[in-house]
Chains A and B, each alone.
Chain A
Amino acid sequence: GAVVSQHPSWVICKSGTSVKIECRSLDFQATTMFWYRQFPKQSLMLMATSNEGSKATYEQGVEKDKFLINHASLTLSTLTVTSAHPEDSSFYICSASSGATDTQYFGPGTRLTVL
């Protein structure tokens, strides 16, 4: 149980284009989904928290107009990186949680490379 999928697993795009990443909880309903970014040799940095049907809450320093988050259902959240630039190249990981312990289960991650 507690399987989270992400799609795509990797993507290469040109500077200035937009990229959409999907995060799905496959066998449970996720009350909350989280989006993280991880640069090489660094730990996970929380970008935003999203609850189904409401606007995402962004962490300080994360541009909400650049990283659009939609949480349309209890099993799906999407992150769109708009007008991507090389400095946005990173490993993007989503997680989903439900239940009293708020245990977060992570998706396999999406490696974004912006040329």
Chain B
Amino acid sequence: GQNIDQPTEMTATEGAIVQINCTYQTSGFNGLFWYQQHAGEAPTFLSYNVLDGLEEKGRFSSFLSRSKGYSYLLLKELQMKDSASYLCAVNNQGGKLIFGQGTELSVKP
């Protein structure tokens, strides 16, 4: 079966660093995506990993270990506007994405 797990919710303080983990078990793998989704809005693309290692993009970094079926999204210098749901998604085959349940991040002052 297809399974993507991530924590349901997390809380962090403004200015801090937070790591959101994602583990996956899928029948195929052609890359892992992280999206940010604010309430009532569509997801926006954050990052893409297909090879092992760390991809850094400004305050956001994403890591992938294919052998462990594991990824994390690292958010630095947290801002209040970073409060949102963060979705981990695996490109299974043929471009289809399988989404995790999403992690609701609350950033507090």
Contact = CB atoms under 8 A, between A and B. Distances in A.
Partners in one complex: yes
Interface of A: 2, 6, 32, 34, 42-46, 49, 91, 93, 97, 101-109, 111
Interface of B: 30-31, 33, 35, 40-45, 48, 50, 87, 91, 94-102
Nearest to A6: B42
B30 A107 contact: no
Contact of A109 (B42, B97, B98): B42
Report whether over half of chain B's contact residues are helix, strand or loop; otherwise say mixed. Answer: loop
Report whether over half of chain A's contact residues are helix, strand or loop; otherwise say mixed. Answer: strand
24 contacts: A2-B45, A34-B96, A43-B99, A43-B101, A44-B43, A45-B99, A46-B96, A46-B97, A46-B98, A49-B94, A49-B95, A93-B42, A93-B43, A101-B31, A101-B48, A102-B31, A102-B91, A102-B95, A103-B48, A104-B95, A104-B97, A105-B45, A107-B42, A108-B41
A32 B95 contact: yes
A32 B31 CA distance: 17
A43 B97 CA distance: 12
A108 B98 CA distance: 19
